[in-house]
Amino acid sequence: MTTNSSRVMKSLQADIEKDLSSFTDELYQEIKNTTPVQTGVAKKGWRKGKVNLDNSKSTIITNGVPYIDELNAGSSQQAPDGIVSPAIKKVSGKYQ
């Protein structure tokens, strides 16, 4: 019985990791799509990477463009609601 429950747990963990990976990929793409474009620098500035946090790998999405915080705060008429929050809202709606 322990072996069976062990297999079930591993299968569940694999499914969760797959869903989380899909969510992160979709979120990254939606963030890029939501980013306003004047020169394209901010849109090209998005990066997705893996880091180790608390003994587990996590995915982070970053942008080092100096004015990305202003854009994310809604300074552009192209994205008056910002970038990250609308992207999270749109993508997370698919996973409910």
Summarize pLDDT for 30-67 with one digit per residue, the tens: 999 999 999 999 999 999 999 988 888 889 999 999 99
Torsion of CA 73, 75, 80, 86, to 10 degrees: -30
Amino acid at 69: D
Q: What is the predicted pLDDT for the residue at 72?
A: 98
pLDDT at 1 over 70: no
